[in-house]
């Protein structure tokens, strides 16, 4: 099974989906098999971030009848692809899709672990773009190898990040130490990683984040004008291989690889 990395925004507008897409693109550029999965049925837009909203291919509604772990390679072959990254996404709203074929969120949450497990079995890296809703992280909590909290640099955003990190730490602890067979293989503990986005952060602010949240600050990402150019050309973040977002994505992939080797 490959490694699974999940991205969670600490507040709105911090670019969590952008960073998730960049990590996917950089993994593909490094010749690693990768798949990106949109797990936000309320406001997900990963297909838009990748420039795939008009491209043919399966979305979440096509998986409404999933029962059991999916064939990850077969599913990836049905997905729209950008820069070597197959992307599983869906329409925003109260479920994935509209009309009678829509997949309600409650039913969707039941299918998520089987879909993610199948894709992770078939790919070196599986990138998950999550909302802040804890029910989604709960659904994949036994599958993830790393959880990245993307936060802003303003004071209210720091407060939001503190609450989100605390909640994620507690959720992962309960899920991975809870209702499991006594002889099951032990799961390694997971501590969230943090990436800070926004204006240029001073060292004092970075130290404050590390001390207050008690988690590693993996990268600080300033304003990256390259992203605007990439979006205007229909390219996903990181496609040109330069800029702060790319550096953060590469650092996350390196940390993910080191963690896998250590395990």
Span 43-97, pLDDT tens digits: 778 998 999 988 999 999 889 888 899 999 999 999 999 999 999 998 655 556 6
The C-alpha atoms of residue 228 and residue 248 are separated, in whole angstroms, by 17
Confidence (pLDDT) at 111:
93
Average pLDDT of the chain is 86
Q: Which helix (H) or strand (E) covers residue 49, if one does?
A: helix 46-49
What three-state secondary structure class fits 19? helix
CATH assignment of 3-262, among 3.40.50.2000, 3.40.630.10, 3.40.50.300, 3.30.200.20 = 3.40.50.300
Q: Where are the domains of the chain?
A: 3-262
Instruction: Decide: helix, strand or coil at residue 167.
Output: helix
Question: According to the per-residue pLDDT averaged within each range, which of 81-90, 194-203, 223-232 is highest?
Answer: 81-90
Paired sense of beta strands 85-88 and 81-82, if any: antiparallel
pLDDT given for residue 214 in this prediction: 85
* pLDDT mean over 16-22: 94
pTM above 0.85, yes or no: yes
Q: Who's near 132: CB < 8 A, 6+ residues apart?
A: 8, 9, 10, 164
Calpha distance 75→58 (Å, rounded): 8
Residue 227 contacts residue 204 (beta carbons within 8 Å): no
Longest dimension (CA), the chain: 53
């Amino acid at each position: 099974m490959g490694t699974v990395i999940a991205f969670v925004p600490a507040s709105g507008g911090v670019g969590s989906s952008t960073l998730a897409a960049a990590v996917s693109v950089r993994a593909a550029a490094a010749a690693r098999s990768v798949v990106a999965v949109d797990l936000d049925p309320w406001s997900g837009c990963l297909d838009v971030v990748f420039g795939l909203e008009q491209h043919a291919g399966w979305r979440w509604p096509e998986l409404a009848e999933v029962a059991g772990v999916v064939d990850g390679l077969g599913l990836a072959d049905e997905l729209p692809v950008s820069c070597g990254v197959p992307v599983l996404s869906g329409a925003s709203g109260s479920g994935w899709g509209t009309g009678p074929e829509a997949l309600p969120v409650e039913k969707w949450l039941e299918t998520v672990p089987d879909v993610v497990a199948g894709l992770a079995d078939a790919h070196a890296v599986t990138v998950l773009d999550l909302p802040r809703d804890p029910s989604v992280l709960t659904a994949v909590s036994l599958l993830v190898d790393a959880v990245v909290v993307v936060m802003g640099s303003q004071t209210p955003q720091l407060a939001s990040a503190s609450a989100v990190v605390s909640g994620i730490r507690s959720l992962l602890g309960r899920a991975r130490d809870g209702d499991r067979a006594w002889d099951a293989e032990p799961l390694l503990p997971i501590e969230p990683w943090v990436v800070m986005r926004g204006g240029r952060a001073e060292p004092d602010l970075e130290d404050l984040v590390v001390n207050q949240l008690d988690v590693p600050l993996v990268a600080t990402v300033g304003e990256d004008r390259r992203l605007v150019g990439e979006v205007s050309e229909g390219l996903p973040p990181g496609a040109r291989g330069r800029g702060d977002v790319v550096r953060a994505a590469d650092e996350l992939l390196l940390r993910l690889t080191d963690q896998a080797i250590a395990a």
